[in-house]
Amino acid sequence: MFIFIFLQEFRINPRESFVVETTDRTVLDFDKFEKVQDGSTLYLLQHEHQALPVAAEEHITFTPHYDTLIRGGMYEYYASQGQAPLAYTLAELIDNALSATAKNKGQRTIEIRVLNDRTVGKPAIVVLDNGCGMTSKQLNNWAVYRLSKFTKESSTFARLARVGQAALSNMQSKTFVDQLLVSSEIFKKRLHTMFKVTLREKPPKYPRAIHLREVEHDMQTLYINAAADTFEFRASTAADNGTVEGVIRYHPFLYDKETYPKRPEAPDNDDDDNESGFIDQARKKMPIFECFWNGRLIPYTTVSEFDWCSPNKGAKVPAECYSRLSGVLFTDDRFQVTTNKLTFTDLELKLKNKDTIYTTVVNGQKSSKRANIQNEFSLWLQNCHEKFDKQVKFLGYKETITRTDVPTKRMQHPWGTFSSIEWDGKTYTIGQRVKSLRTIPVFYGTIVRFLLYGIYDGDVFATGGQVEVIREPRALYDTVRIIPISKIDKTATDEAIKKNIDNDLVWPKGNEWPQNAVCPAGTPLGPINVEILNKKGESMSSMPSAGQGKGPALSMHLKIVLHGSKGDQVISDLLAQHSAKWGFEFKKNENLTQLGKYTLSLNTVMKDNDAPVVGGIQLPNFTLKFTIKGEEKQSSDPSVRVGVPFNIPLQFKDLYGHLTAPPPKLLYDLKVFMSGLRTHTQAVKIILHPGKTAFMSEIKTVGIENGNPVAFSVEILDEAGNITAHPRQIVHFNFSLKELPLVTVDCSNTGAGQLMTKPINLKIIDGQPQVRKAHFEMPSQRHVASVIRELKVIPSTRVALMQVYSADDDNLVLRNNDKIDWVVGGVLENLFYRLYDEAGSEVTVSAEIASMIKVSLTYTTKGFCVCAVFSVTVVSEEGSPITTFNPAAVSMFLWNGVSSGETPPPTVGDWPTVREIVIYVYFFYQTIDTLINKKSADVDKILKMPRRSCSIRENFMLQPDVLGTVGHLAFVEDDTAARVISWHISGDMDCIITKTKEAAERIYRETQGRQQVMALDSVFVSPGNRPLPHIRNGHTLFDPPGNPVYARELLICPNEQESCGIVFKNILGDTILIDDLQSANSYRRAVVQNKSPCPTILTRQGDRVSAKGKFGGAQNKAPATQMFPMFGAPLPQTYHTLRNDIELLQQYQIAVRKREEAEKERNDHLKNLYSPEMKMKKQELEEKKKLLEDIDRQLGGFVDHGVSFLLFFLFLEYS
């Protein structure tokens, strides 16, 4: 009737297709039409997805919410005046855009477009999205006051985003786009939306855009990144059962500043200019908690603190630790907000109600411990302070003073003075030298005292402070600096500081003598140019001035002192004034002729009084120690060589040991005998080295047994016969055999070597030794004569010949490849053999030789050779083997004719007329089927035996893309290993492993989230298998106790080995299994001592040593009774052996049957080939060939061969 009415009313052809839809594009059928209310607007379209040509109008009727009357004029619409609420109005639009794009199948795109081009209109902000519009029902609901606030589901934006309140609060800001911060870290990680902000200005300026994921400086991101640790809690209100989840963050103090993030509107302070060292508190008076409603920031409601997280008298941490806290509160719909969503109406009252219960949250779960939240928070805060804060401890309190150098009057008093501090593991005390950091200029100095603002009476911790330092060298600077402690350079070492203070002058590199130099007599010293440089590298000639003009002038004093046996003697004493061109210059000194030790001193002195000390401080100075030795003697090498002339140095000295000229008219002979001297002979020690290469040593003629290698020892000698070593001493060995390659040996390093050839195999004639020439030469040493020696190769004693004899016929001697002519039917017996070596001597047959001899007999008859080895089994008529009979009573017969497959005849035919001999040997074997059945029965018996199995049910195994439950994916053979590994991963044993994410999500939905799942396409494990921790670069670092092995290597995966390997590598990781707890602890200690991390260790006794080193307690000990599912045990190896045997027997059975079928087919073919019919056809073919030849001869040369063949086939056709 419904369709008929439409056809009648709109005069629609019954054959024309059409649809009727509501304004929200729902296609109406009979059932849906019944639910359509009167007055509804309907569309009559040709098809379901037809676009509307014009905008449609619909009359909406709704019942107003009662709050329209009683709350419509509340102050909340006006409470935001003066608060710049634009950002939160924009947040509502973004919320709507996110809701509209939530169900997009493709990409979600949201753009906040800021239009600032007045040529096209007034400035505006536009939120664009590619989501769906509102249906009529949604439009109706929108018209109901406050409906969207309390009845709709939590929006995507509420869970994922926040618009920073400082971002849009100032429309006139030039950095407006940069301040638009949708800042939640969760938003950036989870919101897969193209979310960007665009600023369009008047041309020619190009539009500027920024993607939300690129924003890194919004407050929430800064809070998260700057937090060192978090404290999570949950509050439950008793009245309406509301829930508030909270997070407190700790921002530590690091060395010289707080890390609490500064808000954009806060003024910047330069810490480097803060000479007072006084650091303001981090949070100051700002509240701790920002508040979110359904994840959305409610900007005008903050919570300063709770009683349990505020400072108290019994606190164990400084009060400033409480100022380093930031936090957020997340509420649900049970807490009301104002219509403009800027303020909570009752949040703080409910949270501070005495009936509100606070509990700690650990890893997203409510803590199971019944502990007071104040105690838990205090312990957490104390741990954060001790672990993360890097503060200064002031020690050795001395007195409280007033400082007049501080410009601010209220900061001049009180200041405590201290003698030392402990800072970041280092101790600084009075009198210690330090280097400044980030000061202009950087300077060195000595600590006078430490200063801390406040009243103290003992040791105290503080986050800042100051140090008073005297600049060094004091004689040059004489100033005191007070700097913050944070500007002490902690990286400067004592040696580096001392070097920079003491050596405040720089020497030019030219003409510089090294310290403790040893120089020949008469060596000139200098010239010397000395400069005194300040820290800026500028030359100094006077002391720094305290006021205007130059300070007192400086001079340079040089003194050279000889330390002799009679005391110190001043050799040179000079004073140099400063020159603008050369600095302090000293001319060359060539008077250093006396032998002995010297000291050169350079001292800066005051020009007026030559004083090297000013105010008790030594001025810059330098000291050089050196030694003057005698005249440089002619160098000589005491090493001499045989056959090479050499010089003996001759020196004459006076009574004092100085070199002198020889006396006149001195005669001496080759014995170096000096007449006229007190000691007229001199013994000279020399080192004798071998001479040059002269020849090769005598190489003896050697004898070698044929078939063996030969070795020659070669030595390279000098002319005196000593072994000598020189470069390129390579000896070549040539043998008069083409089969042997060239052999070389390098004697360059040792002068000797050994030549080893390959085995020599010569043909021995008449058992006589063979002699060959061996040539030894050195191609690189042409002057060394080659050596030729004879090599005698004697016959080998190994077996070289076998001869076979007959005891009945002395003339019968068989050699290799000989043939025996024997009478058919005769008996060839009593054969024996002898073995001979290459010399023709008989070799005694030993057990070893006999084991290598094999004998086979080949019969040849009419050119047909049969070589057979028989294994015969005698069976009864029933088919069973007969074992109780005399083997001598059994005979094997040969018969002629074609095999028929039946029992052979009892007699043998005439041997001379045999055309083909077929030997049938019956192999009677045990029935294969019987053996297969027996082994199959053993397999069934093994399967029925009780063994360990996993108790977890497999409910999803047959579903697509499901690998199975973890407990069923592998077996563990060893019971102790299976127990401890199963207990260790007991929480993962029932996890379902799927191959795809879609399959995992399907199981998750089917079980309503109760079943844990893991998708392999979402799991990554590093490829390859790393060695155990005690193995590094293929080498064992130590002897491991307890037989360590990776636990995952004990798992036997029967199916999908590669996928299962990924599963257990992901679950077990590098967990190790060791025999006992003592071995586990010893192994861990050895690994850690080798600077390597140690993974979790399990023991076969059921203990666990965690990767952190913890062991002991109930949580680290597997229960004695089986209270958890375990991996099953694999089938024993016997089972797999039986299955393999059965498979081989079945293959053998098939092969035997195929062989029998092939043999039968062959016999049938042979039988058919020699049948009378085939013989008759062959005879007919021969006759037709002869007839064709006669025809060809009659035709003569008129017909070619092709025609002849054609006639032949035609002839065959008609015949």
- Residue 430's pLDDT band (boundaries 50, 70, 90)? very high
Task: Answer yes or no: do 989 and 1100 share one domain.
Answer: yes
Q: What is the mean pLDDT of residues 7-13?
A: 78
Select the more confidently predicted residue: 270 or 843: 843
Please tell me whether the peptide bond between 1040 and the residue prior to it is cis, using omega within 30 degrees of 0: no
Task: Answer yes or no: do 818 and 881 share one domain.
Answer: no
pLDDT at 248 over 90: yes
> Would 681 be classed as within a structural domain?
no
User: Among 625-629, 637-641, 1011-1015, where is mean pLDDT lowest?
Assistant: 637-641
The residue among 709, 693, 792 whose CA lies nearest residue 752 is: 693
Q: Tokens in use for 1012?
A: 């844990």
> Would 668 be classed as within a structural domain?
no
Q: Tokens in use for 1045?
A: 């092995």
Task: Answer yes or no: do 1039 and 966 share one domain.
Answer: yes
Coil, helix or strand for 162?
Answer: coil
Domain boundary at 765, 794, 823, which? 794
Select the more confidently predicted residue: 119 or 827: 119
Q: Tokens in use for 9?
A: 């009313």
Task: Give the separation between CA 193 and CA 109, rounded to whole angstroms.
Answer: 6
Does the CA dihedral 761-763-768-771 come out positive or negative?
A: negative
What is the structure's pLDDT at 176?
34
Q: Give me the residues paired with residue 805 across strands.
A: 813, 832
Task: Answer yes or no: do 1199 and 1125 share one domain.
Answer: no
pLDDT at 504 over 60: no
Measured in residues, the chain has a length of 1215
DSSP state of 542: B
What residue has token string 């798992």?
A: 1051
What is the structure's pLDDT at 915?
30
Domain boundary at 342, 366, 390, which? 390
Q: What is the mean pLDDT of residues 535-555?
A: 72
Residues 6+ apart with CB under 8 A from 407: none
- Residue 1164's pLDDT band (boundaries 50, 70, 90)? confident
> Would 222 be classed as within a structural domain?
no
> Would 882 be classed as within a structural domain?
yes
Interstrand relation of 193-201 and 108-116 (parallel, antiparallel or unpaired): parallel
The distance of Cα 819 from the centroid of its chain, to the nearest Å, equals 73
Select the more confidently predicted residue: 789 or 1038: 1038
Contact 1106, 1093 (CB under 8 A): no
The residue among 568, 627, 567 whose CA lies nearest residue 598 is: 627
What is the structure's pLDDT at 1032?
84
What is the structure's pLDDT at 996?
92
What is the structure's pLDDT at 437?
86
Question: What residue ranges in 737-868 does DSSP mark as E strands?
Answer: 743-746, 752-756, 770-777, 787-794, 801-806, 813-814, 831-836, 859-861, 864-866
pLDDT at 30 over 70: yes
> Which phi and psi (to 5°) does residue 836 adopt?
-130, 150
Q: What is the mean pLDDT of residues 736-754?
A: 78
The residue among 777, 739, 779, 772 whose CA lies nearest residue 755 is: 777
Q: What is the mean pLDDT of the chain?
A: 76
DSSP state of 510: T
User: Among 16-25, 782-791, 912-921, 1080-1089, where is mean pLDDT lowest?
Assistant: 912-921
pLDDT at 77 over 90: no
Task: Give the separation between CA 538 and CA 322, rounded to whole angstroms.
Answer: 51
- Residue 367's pLDDT band (boundaries 50, 70, 90)? low
What residue has token string 């297709």?
A: 17
Contact 599, 625 (CB under 8 A): yes
Q: Tokens in use for 1105?
A: 């040593």
Helix/strand/coil (H, E, C) string of 391-411? CEEEEEEEEEECCCCCCCHHH
What is the structure's pLDDT at 264?
65
The distance of Cα 514 from the centroid of its chain, to the nearest Å, equals 50
Domain boundary at 816, 833, 855, which? 855
Question: What residue ranges in 913-997 does DSSP mark as E strands?
Answer: 917-918, 962-965, 971-972, 992-994
What is the structure's pLDDT at 1012?
92
**CATH code where residue 768 lies:** 2.60.40.10
Task: Answer yes or no: do 787 and 807 share one domain.
Answer: no
Report the number of distinct structural domains present in the chain: 10
Task: Give the separation between CA 840 and CA 209, rounded to whole angstroms.
Answer: 105
Q: Give me the residues paired with residue 755 across strands.
A: 712
Coil, helix or strand for 830?
Answer: coil
Select the more confidently predicted residue: 1097 or 798: 1097
- Residue 859's pLDDT band (boundaries 50, 70, 90)? low
Task: Give the separation between CA 560 and CA 563, rounded to whole angstroms.
Answer: 10
Q: What is the mean pLDDT of residues 503-528?
A: 69
pLDDT at 467 over 90: yes
> Would 509 be classed as within a structural domain?
yes
> Would 1088 be classed as within a structural domain?
yes
Task: Answer yes or no: do 738 and 825 share one domain.
Answer: no
Q: What is the pLDDT of residues 750-804, one digit of tens each?
A: 888 888 888 888 888 877 888 888 888 888 888 888 888 888 888 888 887 887 7
Contact 1081, 1104 (CB under 8 A): no
> Which phi and psi (to 5°) does residue 391 adopt?
-115, 180
Give the count of beta carbons closer than 10 Å to the beta carbon of residue 81: 8
> Would 683 be classed as within a structural domain?
no
Give the count of beta carbons closer than 10 Å to the beta carbon of residue 719: 14
Select the more confidently predicted residue: 49 or 887: 49
Give the structural domain span for 611.
503-629
Select the more confidently predicted residue: 367 or 1078: 1078
Task: Answer yes or no: do 737 and 816 share one domain.
Answer: no
What is the structure's pLDDT at 784?
86
Contact 244, 256 (CB under 8 A): no
- Residue 1196's pLDDT band (boundaries 50, 70, 90)? low
Contact 613, 607 (CB under 8 A): no
The residue among 768, 835, 763 whose CA lies nearest residue 801 is: 835
Q: What is the mean pLDDT of residues 128-139?
A: 76
The residue among 675, 682, 677, 689 whose CA lies nearest residue 646 is: 689
Interstrand relation of 1097-1099 and 1072-1074 (parallel, antiparallel or unpaired): parallel
Contact 952, 990 (CB under 8 A): yes
Q: What is the mean pLDDT of residues 713-736?
A: 82
Task: Give the separation between CA 81 and CA 342, rounded to whole angstroms.
Answer: 11
Task: Answer yes or no: do 850 and 899 share one domain.
Answer: no
Phi-psi region of 278 (alpha: psi -120 to 50; beta: other; left: phi over 0): beta
Helix/strand/coil (H, E, C) string of 1140-1166? HHHHHHHHHHHHHHHHHHHHHHHHHHH
pLDDT at 9 over 60: yes
Largest CA distance in the chain: 160
pLDDT at 326 over 80: yes
- What pTM, to 2 d.p., does this model score? 0.38
> Would 414 be classed as within a structural domain?
yes
Q: What is the pLDDT of residues 1148-1163, one digit of tens each?
A: 888 888 888 888 888 8
Phi-psi region of 1072 (alpha: psi -120 to 50; beta: other; left: phi over 0): beta
Select the more confidently predicted residue: 509 or 230: 230
Task: Answer yes or no: do 1189 and 1116 share one domain.
Answer: no
Coil, helix or strand for 583?
Answer: strand
Give the count of beta carbons closer than 10 Å to the beta carbon of residue 65: 16
Task: Give the separation between CA 1043 and CA 299, rounded to whole angstroms.
Answer: 63
Task: Answer yes or no: do 743 and 860 share one domain.
Answer: no
Residues 6+ apart with CB under 8 A from 790: 701, 771, 772, 773, 774
The residue among 349, 493, 476 whose CA lies nearest residue 435 is: 493
Task: Answer yes or no: do 422 and 435 share one domain.
Answer: yes
Burial class (CB within 10 angstroms; exposed 0-12, middle 13-18, buried 19+) of 334: middle
**CATH code where residue 444 lies:** 2.30.30.490
What is the structure's pLDDT at 31?
78
Q: What is the pLDDT of residues 193-231, one digit of tens each?
A: 567 788 877 777 777 888 776 777 778 888 888 899 999
Q: Terminal CA-to-CA distance of the chain, rounded, Å? A: 91
Task: Answer yes or no: do 356 and 421 share one domain.
Answer: no
Select the more confidently predicted residue: 617 or 1181: 1181
User: Among 143-147, 540-544, 934-938, where is mean pLDDT lowest?
Assistant: 143-147
